[in-house]
Structure 1
Amino acid sequence: MKDQFPVNESEYTDADFQKVRQIAREQAGIHLPATKKALVYSRVSRRVRELNQSSFQAYLNFVTTAAGQNEMQNLICALTTNVTSFFRERNHFDHLESVVIPQMATKVRAGKRGRLWSAACSTGQEPWSIAMSVMTAFPDAASHDFRILATDINANVIAQATEGTYNAEEIEGIPPARKSQFMEPAGNGDYRFDGPIRRLPAFRVLNLNASWPIQGSFSAIFCRNVVIYFDDATREHLWQRLADKLEPDGFLYVGHSERVSCASQCGLIQVAPTIYRKDQ
């Protein structure tokens, strides 16, 4: 009997890889070097099989049609790694709680707005961690004009992040006191964020390399472990756009393996290995 899923490595051609590279670049600004050819096969072949497509070529032809737009998001998601956890890179949250939020609280209590941005928020652990930091350092934040914008290119992870429900393994990084304060059991061993904290995050689908329908500026932006997928020109363009969205003395948090090489040109001053402040 013929295999229901005939796709195999011998049917994955260089033309297929070049097509994936083109799609990734055009749709999300992702740069895939030639060394990623095997990685692309391992990740995309799962999508080819799940959709029961006859070949890589047939699958790639499908995602570029109007009917394949939802699958296009799945393809982009397959090409990136949604590795995240609560309070990942704890020094960022310590800085947020000790430096940024107290300053924001003073401003917000005086009647001004307070905004933070979690760019590329994945399944939500980052913006919910930010929200817990906000509620810890500024307990009445939800009663004021204080919001956390949380965006990602993938609608599926945005839906999961919006739900705010996680299993016991996923919440291991949350201190017990904060878990008790901000979460409630959701059945089957899961926990869900509940109470005033749910008023803080606003989850939206956004491509960082497309236009941004965003009003106003931010006191801090988290953009971590994202630019590793971009080439140098795309990376520097994004840093500049993010810097432009920061308030004077606002902070940009980047991933532990990332560096804003154009910091001075972007008006940013490095204050710690992965923390930058916008110069006035």
Structure 2
Amino acid sequence: MAALFATRQKDPSPAMTDEEYAKFCEFFYRKTGIQFQAGKKYFVDRRVADRIEKTCSESFRDYFTMVRFQVTGEELQFLVNAMTVNETYFFREDYQFDALIGGILPEVARSKRRNEPIRIWSIPCSSGEEPYSIAISILERWSQADSWNIEISASDIDSKILHEARTGLFGERSVSRVSAQLRSKYFLPRPDGSFQICDELRESIDFSLVNVVNPLHTHRFRDIDVIFCRNLLIYFDDVGRRETVEMFFDALSPGGFVCLGHSESMSRMSSIFLPRKFGETIVYQKPLSAE
């Protein structure tokens, strides 16, 4: 037994020196806007070590050279997937869905012609719980839903989690806040205890890979009416936050809204949005007169 245990031991030495860790964090920040502090070194180091092993690189130096100069960018995407944390569930922070149905959408609709679509963007969408929650909320609770063409886009930087979102397969924890009535209407229970969301919902949402610091990814998002960006900006520094909310400003239609996470405040990032209170939550509006 001792010999077997010994074969399972991994080299506990770090993949990166402190100097290499600093270089790696600077590179990852430039590519993604995500900032890792010193306290995250073990988290980052273990994931980099795993990628070094999987790519058969001889050292961190060899691996880092490959990531920086690989033409396809494939390994950088694997690295991004490894570094991002995806933890969510249906109807999380549901007071914002209340605001969407009770205040935001009626206000957006009043400014639209009937032939104009209402566009909603969920970023980061993780494994899909948020955009699917938005769709279900609208279908179930907004009386004008059938009168409008509603387009829901959902984006994430993690290609693996986007595949899961498109597949629409969820465990019990993800659907724990979904009522029995909504489960029976929108989900198909599977023998393994998971739940498959219905095809109509899966096919109604446009999932796409988007890195918010890459203008080539974000330029196509224009005339958006509502952006859900919850618990992303906490991973950015002040510069990254400001640049991201300015990108959102450009993406929104005049009068459009941004919904942030409960621990995020636009006032600490930018003054270009107007705070608006709907029920129990504050959201942020692009002025109608914005050019």
Deviations 1:55-82 (A, max 9, x none): 3333323323427732312222332321
Name the structure 2 match of 1:24. 28
- Trace 1:67-82 onto structure 2 (pairs within 5 A): 69-82=73-86
TM-score by length of 1: 0.86
Mapped to 2, the partners of 1:132 and 1:89 lie a distance apart of 15
Q: Which residue is equivalent to 2:223?
A: 217
User: Is 1:279 the counterpart of 2:287 in the alignment?
Assistant: yes
Structure 1 segment 114-133 matched on structure 2, within 5 A: 114-133=118-137
Is the CA contact 2:258–2:284 (under 8 Å) kept in the aligned structure 1?
Answer: yes
Q: What is the TM-score normalised by the length of structure 2?
A: 0.83
Residue 190 of structure 1, CA deviation? 2.2
Q: Which residue number in structure 2 is paired with residue 89 of structure 1?
A: 93
1:154 aligns with 2:158: yes
Offset of residue 279 of structure 1? 2.6
Alignment size in residue pairs: 280
1:164 aligns with 2:171: no
Residue 46 of structure 1 aligns with which residue? 50
Tell me whether 1:241 sits opposite 2:264 in the alignment. no
Q: Report the AA paired with residue 88 of structure 2.
A: T
Among 204, 225, 232, which residue is 2:238 paired with?
A: 232
Identity of aligned residues (%): 30
Structure 2: 5+ residue stretches without partners = none
The 3 A distance-change label for structure 1 pair 203 and 11 is closer
Q: Is contact 2:275–2:282 with CA below 8 Å preserved after alignment?
A: no
Counterpart amino acid of residue 149 in structure 1: S
Structure 2 CA distance, aligned partners of 1:11 and 1:232?
Answer: 29
2:260 corresponds, among 254, 264, 275, to: 254
The amino acid of 2:214's aligned partner reads A
Please give the alpha-carbon distance, in whole angstroms, between the structure 2 residues aligned to 1:277 and 1:92.
14
For residues 65 and 207 of structure 1, what CA distance do their matches in structure 2 show? Answer: 19
Contact 2:89 2:173 in 1 (8 A): no
For 1:199 and 1:43, the matched residues in 2 are separated by 33
Unaligned 5+ runs, structure 1: none
